Amino acid sequence: MAHQDQLKQWVGEAAAQEISDGMHVGIGTGSTAEAFIHALASHIQKGLDIKAVATSQRSHDLCCQLGFDMGTLADIGPLDVTIDGADEIDPSFHLIKGGGGAHLREKIVASASHRLVIIADNSKLVPQLGQFPLPVEMIAFEAAYTARMIQSMLCELLDVDVQAKQRFVGDAPFVTDSGNWIWDFHCQRITDPETLALALDTVPGVVEHGLFVGMADLLLVAGPEGVERMEKGGDDEAL
């Protein structure tokens, strides 16, 4: 059985094949996205000419180190495609993202793209979202109260006991690239991602949540037999 690092390498290389000369590309965040960055770098070294926007400082720095021509959405948007990972993917291509804390910038860049390609190993495919904690980025001011409001709302909407936990690094609150805090909500099951996303959007203090509803166009999913290409509303194809 292929090791998880091998799966990430396979799907990163498959994603790099989606990029053509002259494209404007959104670059995701996380270990799978970094596998794509390294794979794409080898194409750039062979002459591929693209411009890119990264969804985190970490990804931006790695791209710069590897010789990418980096820009901003104001300069080069809208983008042709964004390649990014996910923490959970349901059969309708709805996603939970934000395990790395970059979902605000990831959503901004994905929204500015004609096409969102999600790369993952097959462990990220789930029948229903919710086992992975749902990240919510919020401003620091009265964040504990905001989190309590969200927790109460989620318990009522989902009819489960939702646990909330602020994300820390050591003894200090985790701070996003945009200077905000993150709370993770253990929802257990999310039966209606669309309704939940709309409800979270109404909470004062919430900057962005990790539900990506109806945004993904293509999945590239790595498993022991290789990479499967899954188009929204289309047929699956082994690569």
Give the residue numbers annotated as catalytic, written as ranges.
106
User: Exposed, middle or buried, 238 (CB in 10 Å: 0-12/13-18/19+)?
Assistant: exposed
E strands, the chain, are 24-27, 51-54, 81-84, 88-89, 95-96, 116-121, 134-138, 163-166, 168-169, 172-173, 181-186, 206-209, 211-212, 218-223, 226-231, 236-238
Burial code (b: 16+ CB inside 10 Å, e: under 16) for 102-139 equals bbbbbbbbbbbbeebbbbbbeebbeeebbebbbbbbbe
Answer yes or no: are the C-beta atoms of 11 and 222 closer than 8 Å: yes
Answer yes or no: are the C-beta atoms of 128 and 191 closer than 8 Å: yes
- For 60, the 3-state DSSP assignment is helix
